[in-house]
Amino acid sequence: MKLLVENRDKVRILTMNRPEKRNALDSELTQELLKQLRVADAEDAVDAIVLTGAGQAFCAGADLSEFKELKDPQAAEARAELTMQLHLVFSKMTTPVVTAINGAAMGGGAGLALAGDLAVMVRGAKIGYPEAKHGIVAAIVMANLVRQIGPKAAFELVALGEGIDGERALALGMVNRVVPEGQLMDEALYLATKLASLPKAAMAQTKRLFYEVLDLPLEESLKRAREVNRKMRGFGKP
């Protein structure tokens, strides 16, 4: 199976399972990951998600061997749409996601690592956007990267294509924690369990509002926040 699914109480663990390909995203894995994220988000018994990779890498990005076979423009467009939907789904879900970056996260894999609401990275892992070195563009992953770390740092990463280590990623605000090898899943599950322990309705509204205000002017953000404040006061005690 290219994606492993496991439950730890109220936490759903999704593990990309193509270690021989450094968990590169082919269409099958991309579709299954998108599906399982939506399934987990819809399940009442799941209150948080951890996403990680099997083996030595988190995710090497798109499976380039598959892209070489996409000669039909419509097929290439469909693949790009699938990739876009995968990176978009995290902000559309109400269930919080913790990414556990167990190894190299490159290109689309770096995008996945940052797409989670919280991120834990093992010391010694690397995050990078090497697309420009290969004559292509870190296109779909760029929007989220710029939002998270700002224009100057983001441009350096996508233009130079150089990987950065956990300490640099932490300094840039790309990840929340950097931990020694062997402590990654413990820390990721600790954070996920804390998120899962919060009232579900409050967590859902917090996440929804958070991603809405990212793209709204201040006045509109405050108006939207006022609406949520009124709504949440109506919930009473959980």
pLDDT digits (tens, 9 = 90+) for 81-90: 999 999 999 9
pLDDT surpasses 80 at 71: no
* 202 and 191 belong to one structural domain: no
Q: Is residue 36 part of a domain?
A: yes
Give the pLDDT confidence score for residue 69 in this predicted structure: 63
Indicate whether 235 pLDDT > 80: no
Question: Containing domain of residue 48, as a range?
Answer: 3-195
Q: What is the pLDDT of residues 170-227, one digit of tens each?
A: 999 999 999 999 999 999 999 999 999 999 999 999 999 999 998 899 899 999 999 9
DSSP state of 29: H
* Sheet architecture: strand order including 118-122: 3-8, 11-16, 48-53, 97-101, 118-122, 177-179
pTM of the model: 0.93
- Model confidence at 232, pLDDT cuts 50, 70, 90, reads confident
Q: What is the mean pLDDT of residues 31-39?
A: 98
Same domain for 88 and 117, yes or no, is yes
Q: Please check whether residue 163 lies inside any domain of the structure.
A: yes
Residue 179 is assigned to a structural domain of this protein: yes
Residue 70 has pLDDT above 70, yes or no: no
- Site of tokens 């609401």: 117
Same domain assignment for residues 172 and 202: no
Same structural domain for residues 224 and 181?
Answer: no
Q: Going by C-beta distance under 8 Å and a sequence separation of 6 or more, which residues neighbour residue 74? A: none
The pLDDT assigned to 238 comes to: 40
* Inside any domain, residue 238: no
Mean pLDDT for 59-66 is 88
The verdict on residue 60 lying in a domain is yes
Q: Please identify which residue in the block is written with the tokens 């789904």.
A: 89
The number of beta carbons lying within 10 Å of the beta carbon of residue 149 is: 18
Active site residue 20: no
pLDDT band at 74 (very low <50, low <70, confident <90, very high): confident
- The active-site residue out of 131, 156, 162, 167 is 131
CA distances to 17, 63, 116 from 24, rounded to whole Å, are 9, 5, 18
Does 206 map to a domain?
yes
Task: Indicate if the pLDDT at residue 237 is higher than 50.
Answer: no
